[in-house]
Structure 1
Amino acid sequence: MIVRNLETIDFRTLSIFVTSCRLLSLTKCALELNLPKSTVSKAITKLEQHFEAKLLERTTRKLVITEAGQMVLERAASLVEEFHSIGHDVQEMEQQIQGRLRISAPPALDAYMAEHIFLPFLKQWPKVQIALEASNDFVDLFSHGFDMAIRVGQIVDDRLIAKKLGYTTRVLAASPEYLAEAEFGVPETPEDLTKHNCLRYQYVSEIGPWTLISHDNTVNVSITSNFSSTTVEAILKGALKGLGIANLPVQNMTQELESGTLVRVLPQWHTVPMPIYLVYRPGANRPRRVQAMIDHIMSLRSQFEFGPRHGLCCGEA
């Protein structure tokens, strides 16, 4: 018996064959699988053509399984059973909150998300594994296999579902030592920043002037910088070491501002608040772990308010 074109034998064909053998009737097989009898007959013929052997003898009363058919049945039945078992296991897994979640978040929010959002979730659902990837890039959730992402700024991909969580803004801060030793003293106006060394946090491709607002006033300040980085940690370390004035998201300097290792510069000024979004792919049949995380994040969206109403943002610290 020469076997040809096995790659074209699909699961449905094998399932029809196994069911026909179990019931010894094409008619009963068609009824059980809710298929036309002609479809069942064509499937058996297709399988016989592939194996170039008679698998079932059709009589007026019932089917008779040939020797070749018995050999195929033994192996096909185990394949069909295993496939059904896989389907059952997958459905059972999807009904439980477990498995891997792949999430993208900007570096300015990854540590905050880990502490305040993800760790409480993992305590509630310990069978979930979270893979958090920090990036300023707007990664494509479809092609890169992410379950969801936290984004700062406007969402331009209309394929995604976007839920607004809150706002983040940046404030100016420096170490007390830097300000005490600064040649031109503590800045009193945004224009005074031009006399200081400013540490540039480059979110995405940001290289222009700093735009600052205070109530209804907006100014653009061209700064001088001898150090820039795409990571919050590097800029924060530079500010703590007295390298210059940092312009960072308020949530990344809360502890330093409260402890006094950094102090606000121009406390009545801050950057334009940027919206924070949770984005994820559409679809009604998403895994329960994904939906559970979406619900969890949305229930905590009040923790994403880092805008002008945040005390440390408005010179109240």
Structure 2
Amino acid sequence: MELKNQTAVSEFHLLGLTDNHRMLPLVFIMFLFMYLITVFGNLIIIMAISSGSQLHTPMYLFLSILSINDICYSTVTIPKMLVNIQAHDDSISYIECLSQICFVSIFGGMENFLLAVMAYDRYVAICKPLRYTVIMNPICCVLMVLFSLFFSIMDALLHSLMVLRLSFCTDLEIPHFFCELAQIIKLACSDTFLNNFLIFVAAFVFGGGPVCGIIFSYIYIVSSVLRMPSSGGKHRAFSTCASHLSVVSLFYGTGFGVYISSAVTDSLRNTAMASMMYSVVPPLLNPFIYSLRNREMKEALRKLVGRLIYLI
């Protein structure tokens, strides 16, 4: 088969979630609605936190950054898909595709690290309450966010630079609605051993590290809560972790579902549908989880809505 190196590749073709053209208007409306809800919901969370002085704590600082990250995460993939459907054009340029790979890796990795940072914050708040303000000082919080961003960017750059060395065949169709790293590697005609090995190592280091941090944090949290003498104290402690646990379960549960789906099915369409669950659904549902399960957020949102209505 004729090979094309990376300089000769001008564009890829995104096949999307369905090959039924009659379904495309429905897909367009569904994704447009989900994107608008994602952006609006996360913006409301950011506005509520910034306007509520009682929410100016490390926990809500991390939540506001998570909301910003979720907006960026969705913006990297969904708008391009909507433009392609509207223009009846499934092409994406090589540069755009490489940019998607890079930014999806950055914001996906950032989500992973932020969830670990938020778990550590809950660990300090419950297990070391008297030292909470000392440990979780503003400088420490900023450094944790910056280190999370740094490691996410390093991971994304490694994968993106490794894609640059690949040569591609004449078949440049991606059975997905965005340029997913694993799907791009499958299209390559050159040796992809180093790329796959890097994915494995990066998943172990940059993925496994935060997951282990979350697990160990909650082992200590549960151990501390069970030693509390009053049931009221136990309830308050668990309630402060309920929203975070729900978001963690959603993010890693959908990611694990993608892995299982790709392992048990040969259908690339089904794999693409499963990938949508971790790239679109968590940013969409995170604002609702935190606003519905958190009493302080409910109060801040109520005040924000009241002020907005008054201004109108």
Shorter chain as denominator, the TM-score bin is under 0.3
Q: Which has the higher helix share?
A: 2
Report which structure shows greater RCO (CA 8 Å, sep ≥6): 2
TM-score where L is the length of structure 1? 0.21
TM-score where L is the length of structure 2? 0.21
Q: Which has the higher strand share?
A: 1
